[in-house]
Structure 1
Amino acid sequence: MFFISKILKEAFLGSLSSVKQIAIIVIPIMMFLEILKDIGIIDRIAELFSPLVRVYGMKKESGFPLVIGVIIGISYGAGVIFRASKEFSLPKKDLYLVTYFLICAHAIFEDTAIIAAIGANGFLILSVRLIAAALLTYAASKWFDKKAQNEVNL
């Protein structure tokens, strides 16, 4: 019985330590991103992403939810995607493509910092996620274009 309580105590203290490390990384990032959003820098960043979304055949306004999802994560990004889809009348194709990109590359700074804190190569993780996201989204955009063309030809 003593052995089990010792294991549980160690697991609990280890978990608290992990939560503390995550909080030290995540809370400042979230505060910083809220400040950037409030002063309009996130909108400017979305403008910078407009050439990327054009590669996928998406509307320029799709860049904003994409940036939010990449930086902050899917949870907050989902709310932005819903709002942007109504505000900018984003087509379903754009919404799907933003989602595909975010499947691979959501919360890249936060996740990379957490993974690097436990000893992984953050640059490698970040690079692989962004490349995978770009390739998956590009393939999906071509599939959507081909599907749309086939529907027109019917």
Structure 2
Amino acid sequence: MGRVTKELIQLGRDIVSTTVSLFKIMIPVIILIKIADELGAVTLLGELLEPLMGILGLPSSMALVWATTMLTNLYAGLLVLINTDATLTVAQVTVLSSLLLISHGLPIEGMISKKAGVPMWAVLTLRIGGGVTFAWLQNVYYEYSAKNQHTAQILWQNEPVVGESYLQWAMGQAQSLFSIFLVIAVLITLLRLLKLLKIEQLMSLIMMPFLKILKVSKDAANLAVIGITLGLSYGGGLIINESKKGNLTAKDALITVLLLNLLHSIIEDTALVLLIGADLNMVLWARIVFSVCVMAIISHVHTLFSSRKEKQELHS
């Protein structure tokens, strides 16, 4: 068996291993969320969140948008939004978008993060707390500056699916999972090519400012780039795979996954919220600055805690 054949076989195994790791998490959660939606749990959660909307300067009807987004994904939340009668200003759309960009898809992405070594409570605290804090800071800014108070222009319109059968829903989910499989296959193949061509070293240099601030190793650079640009599901799946191989330390996995929980899929997700009239500077650049600042604090605290723990173990 030639070297090229062996490399292709190993590549196929890595693709299948990464995909299976993700699907074991995603498929049960998708089914549970569908059941919860059928039982009215999403609507109930929206009602519980209504008081918080006032603090963020948003209409109470946006609670259902956020609840849907947290339990499902950004697409589903925006579908709820465009089918409401609420008229929002650019400031309100931006605040809502910032909340949704950080606090979405919590069951699936939370389980992926847990598989990568991050406790679920830490993920939920960071995602929900971070999303609310980021949105609140923007609301305070807009209230004092009085900027972007004109009505937002929603460019994305979509015909809602009425009376979708369970078979149609299942087929839609199957198509989404197949798309994820294709993306993972491309990503892992690309990573292998980057290593062969030594281009991964250039990507590490691009990530160096992040790495210095967050104090993670160069080995996490490529995975961080993928997660930040394409999404936590893809980056998280690769982190799980690399951690199993021993290519990432526990700290690298922890900090990288937490970073991706705050900052991921900046191309696709940012484009989506721009279609509903959000301010690019806030949902992209301000989000990057906010995420790096939060993670710098977490990384510093983690380093101090680890150092103190090591000293205690040495003296014991």
Matched, 1:63 2:60: no
Shift in Å at residue 64 of structure 1? 0.6
* CA displacement 1:46-77 (0-9 Å, x = unmatched): 00001111111211100011111112121322
5+ residue gaps in structure 2? 150-316
* CA displacement 1:20-52 (0-9 Å, x = unmatched): 222222122222222222232211110000111
In structure 2, relative to structure 1, the CA distance for the partners of 1:15 and 1:118 (3 Å cut) is farther
Matched, 1:89 2:86: yes
CA contact (8 A) 1:62 1:94 kept: no
CA contact (8 A) 2:69 2:100 kept: yes
Q: Which residue of 1 aligns with 2:125?
A: 127
Aligned with 1:60: secondary structure? coil
Q: Which residue of 2 aligns with 1:36?
A: 36
Matched, 1:102 2:100: yes
CA contact (8 A) 1:42 1:64 kept: yes
| Distance (whole Å) between structure 1 residues aligned to residue 2 and residue 111 of structure 2 | 37
In structure 2, relative to structure 1, the CA distance for the partners of 1:52 and 1:111 (3 Å cut) is same
In structure 2, relative to structure 1, the CA distance for the partners of 1:41 and 1:122 (3 Å cut) is closer
Matched, 1:78 2:75: no
5+ residue gaps in structure 1? none
TM-score, with structure 1 as normaliser: 0.82
RMSD: 2.3
| Structure with the higher helix share, 1 or 2 | 1
CA contact (8 A) 1:59 1:90 kept: no
Shift in Å at residue 81 of structure 1? 2.4
Q: Which residue of 1 aligns with 2:52?
A: 52
| Distance (whole Å) between structure 2 residues aligned to residue 39 and residue 20 of structure 1 | 29
How many residue pairs match? The answer is 148
| Distance (whole Å) between structure 2 residues aligned to residue 12 and residue 148 of structure 1 | 55
Aligned with 1:111: secondary structure? helix
Structure having the higher Rg? 2
| Distance (whole Å) between structure 2 residues aligned to residue 80 and residue 2 of structure 1 | 54
Q: Which residue of 1 aligns with 2:15?
A: 15
TM-score, with structure 2 as normaliser: 0.43
| Distance (whole Å) between structure 2 residues aligned to residue 140 and residue 47 of structure 1 | 23
In structure 2, relative to structure 1, the CA distance for the partners of 1:105 and 1:64 (3 Å cut) is same
Shift in Å at residue 129 of structure 1? 2.2
In structure 2, relative to structure 1, the CA distance for the partners of 1:126 and 1:9 (3 Å cut) is farther
